Structure 1
Amino acid sequence: EVISLISEAEVEARRPTGEASTLALYNACQEADVKSVQLLLESKAAVNQPQASGKTALTIATEQGAMGCMQLLIDASAAVDLATNDGETPLFIACAKGQTECARLLLSARASVEQPRHSGEHPLWIAAEQGHSDCVRLLVAAGATLAPRAAHEAGVGTPLHIACHMGRTDCVRELLGANADPLHICPLGWTPRRAGIEGGPSVPSEVISLISEAEVEARRPTGEASTLALYNACQEADVKSVQLLLESKAAVNQPQASGKTALTIATEQGAMGCMQLLIDASAAVDLATNDGETPLFIACAKGQTECARLLLSARASVEQPRHSGEHPLWIAAEQGHSDCVRLLVAAGATLAPRAAHEAGVGTPLHIACHMGRTDCVRELLGANADPLHICPLGWTPRRAGIEGGPSVPSEVISLIS
Structure 2
Amino acid sequence: MTVSADTEVNGVGDDIERYHQEIFEVVTTGDLKRFNDILDELDRHKLPTIKKKVLNMGYQEADGLTALSIAAGEKHKSITKTLAKCSEVDVNKASFSGITPLLMVAEVGWPDILDILLERGAIVDATPSDKRGEDNKISGSTPLINATKYNHPECVNRLLAHHANPNHQNQSGISALMLAAEQGYFECIKLLVQAGADLDLAPSGPGADNLNITGQTALFMATLKDRVDVVKYLIEKGADVNVQNFYGISPLFLCVESGNGKLVQALIEAGAHVNFTPEGELAEENFLVGQTPLFSAAKSGHVEICEYLIKNGADVNAVTMTGASPLYTAIEEGHLEVVILLIRYGANVNQSPKGQVARDLHIENQTPLLIACMKNHEAIIRYLIQSGANVNLTSEHGTSPFLAICQHNNVILARLLIRHGARYDVETKNRYDGKINSLIIAAESGSFDIVRLLVEIGLDVNYKIEGTGETAGRTPLFHACAKGFQDIVEYLIDHGADVNATEDSGLSCLHIAAAMGHADIVRILCEHNVNVNQRYRFEEQDVTAYDLAECQQHNHVCQMLKNFRAK
Q: TM-score range by the shorter chain?
A: 0.3 to 0.5
TM-score by length of 1: 0.46
Higher normalized contact order (CA 8 Å, seq sep 6+, divided by chain length): 1
TM-score of the superposition, structure 2-length normalised? 0.34
